[in-house]
């Protein structure tokens, strides 16, 4: 017969720090913290010693100093007298421009290729498989160099458009494809904004976009009202004419008031002038990023579609829905939940991969802040740190958006 007693009170022993699960995690964390602090101290100490030995110090003053170099593609005002900071901003905008453009085209390309890869047409699906495999398995760097090289060698120089018997001619008389870039007719708002130039055109387009956004909300109100009436009476009033009017009339009115004209590029001096120029480096980067990432997106789309159970297709077929509409109404909406998260990480990859623009002389932020500014000022540490900070902010923003989306589309289960 035994009598249960309280277990003997153990006095605290040193070995309990490691063996007792109550204290162990604390011990380990303290050890980790000490180790981390030691490593950081060691590295910081090395940096300090190295820099002191060289007699240089970390300073961000160079950002305010004139950059001294010119940039060929600038979306904001910039001259060689502007500061290095301004040059960095020009680069940031250029990075974002090529990233956004490439995201759009890569998505379109990827969805097409992904859907076509599942097509019944043997030849087309094989062709799409070849596209996907070729682009996924060869480094992006090679693609960028090759596409830029193709543009340089295959397209004619502006010189070829010159003379009485030019070896190249303008496409439909209004656009020129040259190895310096593509020149297309550019809109100019001659009446209100007066002076022509990129800035006034920019403001004009901003206003136009604002009007479009207004039209969007206007059209929504009309459609909501129509739905209400339909729900109440069962008859949907005709909204097509109203919708068309809301979408197009304000815009057309704006264009007429501001005197929108298209200026066709003409060859003068060394280059084409007038119109809009899309530089060859931009096109090369845009194309390379699109086709490369498009292959990855195609795989995601295919996986997403295949993830939707076959029963869904069959059920839709049993309801008598046509194949095209089965895809757009039944399959794709369900597949999107699987497709979107990897798609967003592909967008992130495009943004990060756009840093390879340095290879083709596209003035993105890696080429301005991390390239010429770094070379000219010799402030390597500062430039690289700022560069990483920029990419980090962009990445965290995009993944933040992705998380919000994922949470909102998560299957709500009990």
Partner 1 sequence: MSDTSASAVAFVRTESVPASAPPSNAAGPVKWVKDNLFAGVGNSILTVLAILAIYMVLSKSMPWILNGVWDAPSLSACREILNGETGACFAVLSERWNQLLFGFKYPAELYWRPATAFVLLFVAAAPVLFFDLPRKLLIFTGLYPFLAFWLIWGGPIFYPLIALIGLIVAYKVFVAFEKNNFTMALGLGALSAIVIWYLSGFVGENSALLALSLEAVPSRDLGGFMLNMMLGVTCVSLSLPLGIALALGRQSSMPFIRYICVIFIEFIRGVPLITLLFVASVMLSYFFPPGSGVDLFIRVVIMITMFSSAYIAEVIRGGLAALPKGQYEAADSLGLDYPQAMRLIILPQALKISIPGIVNVAVGLFKDTTLVSVISMFDMIGMIRGPIVASTDWNGIYWELFGFAALLFFVVCYGISQYSQWLERRLATDHR
Partner 2 sequence: MNKSVFFGAMTVASLAAGAAAAGTLEDVQARGKLNCGVTTGLVGFAAPDANGEWQGFDVAVCRAVAAAVLGDGNAVEFVPTTGKTRFTALASGEIDMLARNTTWTLSRDVDLKFDFVGVNYYDGQGFMIPKEMGVASAKDLDGATVCIQTGTTTELNLADFFRANNISYEPVPIETNAEGQQQYLAGACDVYTTDASGLAATRATFESPAEHVLLPEIVSKEPLGPLVRHGDNEWGDVVRWTLNALITAEELGVTSANIAEMSASAGGSPEINRLLGTEGTLGEMLGLSASWSKDAIAVSGNYGEIFAKNIGEETPIGLARGLNAQWTDGGLIYSPPFR
Contact residues for partner 2 (CB under 8 A)? Answer: 50, 53-56, 68-72, 79-81, 149, 152-153, 156-160, 179-180, 268-271, 273, 280-281, 358-359, 361, 363, 367, 371-372, 374-378, 380
> According to the binding rule CB under 8 A, does residue 61 interact with partner 1?
no
Stretch that binds partner 1, among 27-35, 59-67, 190-198, 206-214 (CB under 8 A): 27-35
CA distances, 108 to each of 7, 172, 341 (Å): 70, 26, 16
> According to the binding rule CB under 8 A, does residue 380 interact with partner 1?
yes
Stretch that binds partner 1, among 107-115, 165-173, 377-385, 406-414 (CB under 8 A): 377-385
Return the one option of partner 2, partner 1, none that residue 138 interacts with (CB less than 5 to 8 A, by type): partner 1
> According to the binding rule CB under 8 A, does residue 295 interact with partner 1?
no
**What is the number of alpha carbons within 13 Å of residue 367 lying toward its C-beta?**
25
Return the one option of partner 1, partner 2, none that residue 70 interacts with (CB less than 5 to 8 A, by type): partner 2
Return the one option of partner 2, partner 1, none that residue 271 interacts with (CB less than 5 to 8 A, by type): partner 2
The answer to whether residues 26 and 16 touch, using CB atoms and an 8 Å cutoff, is no
> According to the binding rule CB under 8 A, does residue 141 interact with partner 1?
yes
Return the one option of partner 1, partner 2, none that residue 291 interacts with (CB less than 5 to 8 A, by type): none
Q: Which residues sit opposite 260 in a β-bridge?
A: 189
Q: How far is the CB of 395 from partner 1 (least distance, A)?
A: 4
- Which residue, 47 or 203, is less far from partner 1 as judged by CB? 47
322-331 long-range contacts (CB < 8 A, ≥24 apart) are 327/115, 331/305
Q: Name 384's Cβ contacts closer than 8 Å, sequence gap at least 6.
A: 370, 374
Task: Identify which of 102, 178, 93 has the alpha carbon closest to the alpha carbon of residue 140.
Answer: 102
Please give the angle made by the CA atoms of 15, 21 and 24, to the nearest 5 degrees: 60
> According to the binding rule CB under 8 A, does residue 411 interact with partner 1?
no
Residues 363 and 151: their CA atoms lie apart, in Å, by: 18
Sole residue written with tokens 């290879």:
359
Coarse DSSP helix, strand, coil percentages of the chain, rounded to the nearest 5 percent: 70, 5, 25
Q: How far is the CB of 90 from partner 2 (least distance, A)?
A: 13
- Which residue, 55 or 324, is less far from partner 2 as judged by CB? 55
Sole residue written with tokens 């623009």:
357
Residues 184 and 263: their CA atoms lie apart, in Å, by: 9
Size of the chain in residues? 414
Please give the residue ranges that form the binding site for partner 1 (CB under 8 A): 18-19, 25, 28-29, 32-33, 36, 43, 46-47, 49-51, 53, 116, 119-124, 127, 133-134, 136-142, 145-146, 149, 153, 352-353, 355-356, 358-359, 366, 370, 374, 380-381, 384, 387-388, 391-392, 394-396
């Amino acid at each position: 017969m035994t009598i249960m007693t309280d277990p003997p009170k153990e006095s605290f022993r040193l070995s309990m720090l490691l063996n007792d699960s109550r204290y162990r995690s604390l011990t380990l964390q303290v050890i980790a913290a000490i180790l981390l602090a030691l490593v950081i101290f060691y590295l910081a100490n090395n940096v300090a010693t190295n820099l002191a030995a060289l007699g240089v110090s970390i300073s961000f003053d160079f950002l305010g100093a004139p950059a001294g170099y010119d940039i060929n593609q600038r979306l904001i005002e910039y001259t060689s007298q502007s500061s290095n900071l301004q040059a960095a901003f020009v680069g940031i905008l250029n990075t974002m421009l090529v990233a956004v453009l490439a995201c759009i085209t890569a998505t379109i390309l990827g969805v097409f290729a992904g859907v076509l890869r599942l097509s019944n047409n043997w030849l087309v699906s094989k062709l799409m498989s070849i596209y996907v495999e070729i682009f996924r398995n060869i480094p992006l760097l090679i693609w960028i160099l090759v596409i830029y090289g193709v543009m340089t060698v295959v397209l004619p120089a502006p010189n070829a458009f010159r003379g009485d018997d030019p070896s190249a001619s303008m496409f439909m008389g209004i656009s020129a494809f040259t190895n310096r870039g593509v020149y297309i007719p550019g809109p100019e708002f001659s009446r209100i904004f007066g002076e022509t130039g990129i800035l006034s055109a920019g403001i004009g387009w901003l206003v136009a976009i604002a009007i479009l956004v207004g039209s969007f909300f206007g059209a929504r109100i009309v459609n909501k009202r129509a739905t209400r009436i339909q729900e109440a009476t069962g008859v949907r009033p005709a909204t097509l004419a109203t919708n068309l009017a809301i979408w197009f009339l304000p815009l057309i009115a704006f264009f007429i008031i501001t005197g929108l004209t298209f200026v066709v590029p003409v060859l003068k001096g060394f280059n084409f002038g007038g119109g809009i120029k899309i530089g060859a480096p931009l096109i090369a980067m845009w194309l390379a990023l699109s086709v490369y990432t498009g292959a990855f997106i195609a795989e995601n789309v295919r996986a997403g579609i295949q993830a939707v159970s076959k029963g869904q297709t069959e059920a839709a077929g049993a309801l008598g829905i046509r194949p095209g509409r089965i895809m757009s109404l039944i399959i794709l909406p369900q597949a999107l939940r699987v497709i979107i998260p990897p798609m967003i990480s592909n967008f992130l990859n495009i943004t990060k991969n756009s840093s390879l623009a340095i290879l083709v002389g596209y003035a993105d932020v890696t080429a301005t802040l991390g390239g010429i500014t770094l070379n000219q000022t010799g402030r390597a540490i500062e430039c690289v740190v700022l560069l990483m900070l920029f990419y980090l902010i962009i990445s965290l923003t995009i993944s933040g958006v992705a998380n919000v989306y994922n949470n909102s589309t998560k299957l709500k289960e009990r």
